[in-house]
Amino acid sequence: MNSENKSQTRSLRELEMEVLEEGREWMRQRLEEKLQQEAIRQGGVFPPQRKKGPPPSAAKDASADGRGIG
């Protein structure tokens, strides 16, 4: 095996990671398509547009005000 072939050889782990990433991207695109179709069917917009106005108030965490468990 010469050095050129050796540098092009990838491990099974590298191949697995590449294929998993490709699969995740395909699934993301497929989900986006299905969500878009459903939004069109329902007459909505995807992705949903954010409503303008003040940001929602943060929910109080029980542990933050001293009422934590215990």
Distance CA(15)–CA(12), nearest Å, equals 5
Say how far apart CA 28 and CA 6 lie, in whole Å: 34
The model's pTM: 0.49
pLDDT at 39: 84
SS3 49: coil
Structure token digits, residue 26: 């395909």
Q: What is the pLDDT of residues 7-42, one digit of tens each?
A: 688 999 999 999 999 999 999 999 999 988 988 888
